[in-house]
């Protein structure tokens, strides 16, 4: 068995040199994006700052989309450590289905709208009140709570600072470079992070198989339940992750990349290519975490993969792996911070500030502080953060937006708002009321979706509705 390492003070100078080199490359890419923004215009427009002027090419689209999706690496490691390949099913397979639905069903429909954000799209489809309500849900969902926590945990493991201090100082750093150059800084830094993170997790699998053997070693050293699809969870608890994966169809980070792409063809082709890369990445992280569980069974579930890898890899590659883990976190954190700040400044406070760029930069720091606070409120639990925030967002917005695509004139502004508010209220009540054994297995997500669907199917905007789209029931 490998001894569990407690700190990274055993790093060789070469490890720190490689680690610092990746950080410098990431910072240089972010500043390059800022330089490109300033080169275009002295005072960038909202389109340039928020969406890179809708000039996102296929390679850039793939790199930034893939890199944005894995910031909760310690949460993924935690699920694999505890439940085995259940992680690949819930955090991988369900999502691939959602990606393909998005590519073939949603992507081309987005081309009908020249939107800046998901709430802006909602405004065009349903009305101004719908946009405000969806903006609030988007802000709560896209606030990078899990990724701020991941960064704090990373800095705690590397430098020994407290998790809270790591969240504060790490988030401040990301806020500074994300605000500096807008979406261009996010995209160009994502390119560096994309190559580093993919290479890092692949190295762990290669060295693990070479050092300990393949599937036979894992089966001999892991609980049998780690190779079942549910990992010992109920099918109902497993399927909820499938419904949460459908949040991809309304995910703000997906929509931002689609709105920024040069054409619908770039979007469709880019998502298909990204899905292949995501499959390979999920295979590597799940496999690496299984080796960590087999060799460090007494370790903290969320940290075992990290400590396993830095003991497994040789000098130099060890530093590269640590930089890869940081890249995974930063690539998602900077994107989510930027999108959340867009939601706050562009969708909620646009009428209060004349300069969207300045208000967006201020909003980034506000969102960062808000995310740190939420991470504390959730007691630093990745699974709880993803389940609660993902459940509310998906249950309340999924049905109205998909029905909006299928039948554009069916849902009025008021109906959309009522559907969201009643669904959210029903979920909250279900969370807090006492429940018997049967009721306890029904997640609030199912309640929210059911209520939303019932309301939207029973009521619809009549043909004689006024121009504002506001109707009475």
13's CB contacts (< 8 A; 6+ apart) are none
- The pLDDT of residue 14 is 92
Q: How far apart are CA 80 and CA 289, in angstroms?
A: 6
Name the residue with tokens 């909202």. 46
- The pLDDT of residue 461 is 67
Mean pLDDT over the full length of the chain: 84
- The pLDDT of residue 50 is 84
- The pLDDT of residue 473 is 33
Which residues sit opposite 56 in a β-bridge?
261
Half-sphere exposure of 384 (CA within 13 A, CB side): 10
The token pair at 53 is 């002027």
- The pLDDT of residue 465 is 47
- The pLDDT of residue 41 is 56
Cα dihedral 190→345→137→468 (10° resolution):
-130
User: What are the tens digits of pLDDT across the range 408-440?
Assistant: 788 899 999 999 999 999 998 988 888 777 777
Q: How far apart are CA 277 and CA 298, in angstroms?
A: 32
For the chain, the straight-line distance linking the first and the last C-alpha, in angstroms and rounded, comes to: 66
**DSSP per-residue letters across 162-181:** -HHHHHHHHHHHHHHHHHHH
Q: Which residues of the chain have a pLDDT value below 50?
A: 1-7, 464-473
CATH architecture of 13-395: Up-down Bundle (1.20)
Residue ranges per domain, the chain?
13-395
- The pLDDT of residue 466 is 44
- The pLDDT of residue 11 is 82
């Amino acid at each position: 068995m490998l001894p569990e390492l407690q700190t990274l003070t055993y790093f060789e100078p070469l490890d720190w040199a490689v680690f610092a080199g990746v950080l410098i490359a990431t910072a240089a890419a972010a500043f390059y994006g800022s330089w490109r923004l300033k080169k275009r215009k002295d005072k960038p427009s909202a389109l340039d700052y928020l969406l890179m002027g809708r000039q996102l090419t296929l390679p850039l689209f793939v790199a930034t989309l893939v890199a944005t999706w894995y910031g909760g690496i310690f949460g993924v490691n935690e699920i694999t450590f505890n439940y085995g390949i259940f992680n690949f099913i819930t955090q991988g397979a369900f999502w691939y289905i959602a990606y393909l639905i998005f590519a073939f069903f949603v992507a081309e429909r987005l081309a009908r709208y020249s939107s800046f954000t998901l709430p802006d799209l909602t405004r065009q489809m349903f009305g101004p009140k719908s946009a405000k309500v969806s903006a609030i849900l988007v802000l709560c969902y896209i606030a990078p709570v899990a990724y701020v926590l991941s960064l704090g945990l990373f800095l705690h493991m590397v430098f020994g600072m407290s998790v809270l201090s790591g969240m504060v100082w790490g988030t401040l750093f990301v806020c500074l470079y994300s605000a500096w150059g807008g979406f261009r800084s996010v995209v160009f830094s994502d390119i560096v992070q994309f190559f580093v993170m993919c290479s890092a997790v692949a190295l762990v699998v290669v060295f693990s198989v070479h050092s300990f053997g393949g599937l036979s070693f894992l089966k001999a050293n892991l609980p049998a339940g780690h190779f079942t699809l549910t990992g010992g969870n109920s099918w109902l608890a497993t399927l909820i992750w499938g419904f949460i994966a459908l949040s991809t169809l309304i995910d703000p980070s997906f929509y931002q990349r689609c709105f920024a792409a040069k054409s619908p063809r770039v979007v469709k082709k880019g998502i298909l290519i990204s899905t292949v890369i995501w499959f390979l990445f999920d295979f590597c992280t799940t496999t690496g975490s299984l080796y960590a569980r087999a060799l460090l069974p007494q370790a903290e579930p969320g940290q075992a993969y990290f400590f396993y890898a830095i003991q497994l890899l040789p000098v130099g590659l060890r530093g590269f792996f640590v930089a890869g883990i940081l890249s995974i976190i930063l690539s998602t954190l900077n994107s989510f911070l930027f999108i959340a700040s867009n939601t706050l400044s562009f969708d909620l406070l646009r009428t209060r500030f004349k300069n969207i760029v300045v208000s967006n930069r201020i909003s980034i720091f506000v969102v960062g502080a808000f995310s740190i606070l939420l991470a504390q409120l959730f007691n630093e639990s990745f699974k709880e953060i993803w389940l609660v925030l993902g459940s509310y967002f998906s249950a309340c917005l999924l049905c109205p937006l998909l029905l909006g695509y299928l039948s554009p004139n069916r849902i009025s502004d008021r109906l959309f708002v009522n559907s969201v508010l009643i669904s959210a209220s029903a979920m909250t009540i279900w969370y807090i009321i006492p429940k018997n054994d049967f009721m306890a297995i029904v997640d609030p997500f199912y309640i929210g979706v059911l209520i939303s669907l019932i309301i939207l199917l029973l009521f619809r905007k009549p043909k004689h509705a006024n121009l504002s789209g506001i109707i009475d029931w």
